[in-house]
Amino acid sequence: MKKTILAALVSVIVSFPLGWIVAMLLTPVLWRLEPVLNLELAGHSGPSDWVFVVIWALIAIGLFLFSRWVLAKPKTRV
């Protein structure tokens, strides 16, 4: 239980700045996708709020699963 709480806490904290950086770097891609998808993905100041939330959630889930995988590995002695 402690490992799960630790993994969730670290994932949420680390994913905030990482998600913001990834979303900002994706802005040119989002501008090119707007006419194709007919959605407001990014404005002149960066991605839409919902894009930030989706990217943050995906990164948080990915980090959580990765950290649980790392913490669940059995410790081998050499």
Tens of pLDDT, residue by residue over 31-45, are 999 889 988 888 888
**Which residue type is seen at 37?**
L
pTM of the full predicted structure? 0.78
Please name which of 25, 24, 51 lies closest in space to residue 39, comparing C-alpha atoms. 51
Q: What is the pLDDT of residues 50-74, one digit of tens each?
A: 999 999 999 999 999 998 887 777 7
